[in-house]
Amino acid sequence: MYVLMVSVSFTLVVSVVVMLVASLLSKKMVANREKSSPFECGFDPKGSARLPFSLRFFLVAVIFLIFDVEITLLMPLAYILMLTNIFSWLCAGLSFLLILLIGLYYEWGNGALEWSE
């Protein structure tokens, strides 16, 4: 236990020292209007370079990623079918699918899957 505490504290101290040294030695950037403006082949920009980001698209993408990862967690169920009895396999698979369906209906009920308002 003592060795673990010493190693964790040593790691914490070393990481803080490295961050402090890096911040002291780093090049300080001065904000310049010309450097922060968009560049279009030497001409003045035609429109705004900062387009509005659709928060609805981001939410749908995150929900897709979450459900995609959960579906990949279902893949081992096909592999362990021969290694376990059918009742425990069926209970585990159906409970996992039930949790996925409850999450999907919750998101659907809150309107998170609606593209336009």
pLDDT for position 76: 85
pLDDT for position 41: 67
Burial class from Cβ neighbours inside 10 Å (0-12, 13-18, 19+) for residue 56 reads middle
pLDDT for position 61: 85
Q: How crowded is residue 52: how many other Cβ atoms within 10 Å of its Cβ?
A: 6
pLDDT for position 28: 67
Q: How crowded is residue 77: how many other Cβ atoms within 10 Å of its Cβ?
A: 15
pLDDT for position 8: 93
Question: How long is the chain?
Answer: 117
pLDDT for position 57: 81
Render pLDDT for 1-33 as a digit per residue (tens, 0 to 9): 889 999 999 999 999 999 999 888 877 666 667
pLDDT for position 45: 61
2-109 is classed in which CATH architecture?
Up-down Bundle (1.20)
pTM value > 0.75: no
Residues in the chain with pLDDT values less than 50: none
Q: d(Cα 68, Cα 82) in Å, to the nearest integer?
A: 25
